[in-house]
Structure 1
């Protein structure tokens, strides 16, 4: 059976051959209380190594669910491109929206960004930030399961602009979203060889500012580090909309270049 037609659940253990799999804790609670799993129902279990197995719920107890493994699914095709979203933290749940919907469309990595204009609600390294990271990890995991991805995107610790530039430097195209920049497709299309699409999988890092945008100093720093300014729309976008729009454009374009 194609695993895309089944519910997906990520485990933090390795599945070994055809041995029964026992699920406990929060994953058990989610399966029984949220997804309403029933005995005999089949789902796709993905282990910590990313392998996908077709599993059937054999028994559902108060403390554990036991699954039998009926087979291993073929790995899906590689994503069309690798995108890192470096998203400035904002007010309310805007960052969580980027995590949720970015995961659904295929973003590979998220880096929370602390900028000069970020409204700091929780200090880096504090217990409050650790709690936020746990919540953000849960958002990413849930979105990966809902969208039936083959992996959970990486979520890094909050970073300053110099730190984030150091992380993504040399790993692909670094793009700074700026309403005054040229259209994003004009910039990335100019990189392609005239004879046809580039071979291999392209990597992009999208830097997205907070509600007030990047400061002039931050723009200069990013451009000096090799970033290129691009725009994702002729209109002014909210910070969470800008990230998702730019990522969607790059992914859709990469899909057509295969």
Structure 2
């Protein structure tokens, strides 16, 4: 059953407008009596029936509330350094499916792609659309938030908040494993920092460590950046989240 996210609180009757209404009417060609799942801003899920259609809105009637919370017990954020081609699209989609609550695109020294402000903003709009669609498809009860592109230094100064557990994956780390690091994590919010195709420079690794980041290894093999992101999120969800 199709899932929609509603900006508001579920009620006996609500209206869906904008792109979702257009999709229901003109892509799905929905008719009165058909039902969908609706998730509101408070993560409540309702089974709702389409009862009326206007040019720019669909009216829904609540049939029943559902106990269907699918969110992880940990607040997991992926800070991913920019990747080339469509790899960033893939990473965002999989982060949603694996239960992350946010993706922060980070600009670091060895990033192959270089966006100006206009292109960066357009990319973030695209990534948010990918995230929203993935949330509908995989049954999330909350949307993942894609943040604006930020430089590494600014990320460490502003995006990485006091009290977070900041873990970064560094190919020159040979001793500290992710499992051992997670054994000492008590923070509610965990931020995973994954480098670009070229990895982190020595200066950048030192800068992250000085900001409180803990470097870990993902094993003896060198992983592609997109593989490292997927492996990192999966491992953390298995150890501390809802995949265990």
| TM-score interval, normalised by the smaller of the two chains | 0.7 to 0.9
Output aligned runs, 1:17-28, within 5 Å.
17-19=11-13, 21-28=14-21
Q: Which residue of 2 aligns with 1:80?
A: 73
Structure 1 pair 231–45 and aligned structure 2 pair: CA distance change class (3 A): same
1:172 equivalent in structure 2? 164
After superposing the two structures, state which structure 1 stretch, 173-182 or 58-67, moved more: 58-67
Contact 1:98–1:240 (CA under 8 A) maintained in structure 2: yes
The 1-side partners of 2:237 and 2:179 are apart by 11
TM-score, normalised to structure 2, is 0.88
Displacement of 1:214 after TM fit? Answer: 0.8
Root-mean-square deviation over aligned CA pairs: 2.4
Partner residue of 2:22 out of 24, 29, 32 = 29
**Is 2:78–2:100's contact at 8 Å kept on the other side of the alignment?**
yes
Instruction: Provide the rounded CA distance (Å) in 1 between the counterparts of 2:193 and 2:135.
Output: 22
Q: Secondary structure at the match of 1:234?
A: coil
Q: In 2, Cα distance between the equivalents of 1:68 and 1:162?
A: 49
Which residue is equivalent to 1:230?
A: 216
Residue 1 of structure 2 corresponds to residue 9 of structure 1: no
Offset at 1:102?
0.3
* Matching of residue 64 in structure 1 with residue 57 in structure 2: yes
CA distance in 2, matches of 1:177, 1:30: 40
The number of residue pairs the alignment matches comes to: 241
Q: Secondary structure at the match of 2:139?
A: coil
Task: Work out whether 1:106 is the aligned partner of 2:126.
Answer: no
Residue of structure 1 equivalent to 2:199: 213
Distance (whole Å) between structure 2 residues aligned to residue 114 and residue 107 of structure 1: 20
Residue 180 (structure 2) pairs with residue 186 (structure 1): yes
Give yes or no for contact 1:179–1:233 (8 Å, CA) kept in 2: no
Please list every run of 5 or more consecutive structure 2 residues that lacks an aligned counterpart in the other structure. none
The offset of 1:39, in angstroms, is 3.5
Q: 1:146 aligns with which of 137, 154, 170?
A: 137
Deviation of the 1:72 alpha carbon: 2.8
Larger deviation, residues 55-64 vs 175-184: 55-64
CA distance in 2: counterparts of 1:35 and 1:215, whole angstroms: 49
Contact (CA 8 Å) 1:90, 1:210: kept in 2 or not?
yes
Q: Equivalent residue of 2:223, what SS? A: coil
Shift in Å at residue 75 of structure 1? 6.1
How high is the TM-score relative to the length of structure 1? 0.83
